Structures are given as structure tokens and as C-alpha cells.
Structure 1
């Protein structure tokens, strides 16, 4: 999250997606990390969607919004927490 704040402080409050992508690919190391994150997070997001439907997880929309407004590193653990709560709830009634 600090990196997001640093980005806003450096480049202003307007968010230019193309500029952000250019910076994320400014050198081979940044490109490697950006692509790894994109591929890994895409797979997890697909799983989160299917799992949220299967388990009827409440407040899944909060997870999706937090992915874009905060960070994937926040939303993925949040989803796992909500999923665990749902599994515990199911165990109580089964």
C-alpha cells in the first residue's frame, strides 16, 4: 500500500493506467515481477469467483473492490478469511 501512496505523491492524484503499466515494465526485473503477479493473481481471482459461488460467500464484492482499491495482497487473504468463516458456518449446521 505504501508504494501506491508513493505513486500518488510522485505522479499526482489522477491515475493513468497506461503510465502505471509503463512503469511496471520499465526494466526486465520489473517486467518479470509484474507478469508473475498478473498471471498468479489472475488464476487466484478465477478460483475466488468459483469458490465464492460454490460456498455462497457473503460480501465477496468487498474482496473484488479491495483488489483494485487497495491491493491483491490484501484482498486474497481477506477472501481466505471469509471463506474460512463460511466453512465454519457450514460445519455448524451439517
Structure 2
């Protein structure tokens, strides 16, 4: 397996893990609170102490930057369905959507390289 292909599969594995692991915690939160839509409680918990605030702010800034990059890079490479990764970021988790985009990007780069060689 060539390095770009291996990298692509690593990104896909991370996307799957990024869907499963955060949702394990989300389901635990929902069970503990008895209300699956307890958004205010979730936000309060995400800011409950300095460590939680640090992680929340880190995710907010990092995810904002990567979201902009996904939109720009997806269009630049004329990737089909790049916007699905943004939906995955919101509906599943950022930890799923970002590696999914990287997987699709590697696939597109391989397509472009193959077209260039032919």
C-alpha cells in the first residue's frame, strides 16, 4: 500500500472513531440528564471549570479555522460532496467530519495525480 493510500485509510479510520467516541460521551450525558435536548446543561458542563473551558475554546477556534479551510479547499480542488463533511461536523461530530474531509481530499488528490499522468 502506497503512503497516500495508507494515509487515506488512516483518515477514514479516524473519522469512524471520531463518530463513535464523542457519541459515547453524548449518550452518557443524555442518560445522566434524562433530557436528550439539554443544550444549556451541556454548555454549562463544557464550561464547568478551567480545563473544560480550555478544551471548549480550543475546539471552537480550531474547528472554526478548519471549517473555513474545508470550504475553501473543497472548492479549490473541485471536490464532489465536500459540503457533506460540514454536515457531519455539525450532526455527528467535528472529530468525524474533519478526518472525513481529509480522506476525501486525499482521494481527490490521487484522482488529479492520475489524470495528470495520463
Question: If the length of structure 1 is used for normalisation, what is the TM-score?
Answer: 0.89
Query: How far did 1:12 drift?
Result: 3.6
Structure 1 runs not aligned, ≥5 long: none
Query: How far did 1:61 drift?
Result: 2.6
Aligned match of 1:82:
104
When residues 82 and 41 of structure 1 are mapped into structure 2, their CA distance, relative to the original with a 3 A threshold, is same
State the distance in 1 between where 2:85 and 2:34 align.
26
When residues 13 and 66 of structure 1 are mapped into structure 2, their CA distance, relative to the original with a 3 A threshold, is farther
Deviating more after overlay: 78-87 vs 66-75: 66-75
Aligned match of 1:18:
40
Relative contact order: is structure 1 or structure 2 higher (C-alpha 8 Å, sep ≥ 6)? 2
> Which 4+ runs in 1 deviate beyond 3 A?
none
Question: If the length of structure 2 is used for normalisation, what is the TM-score?
Answer: 0.72
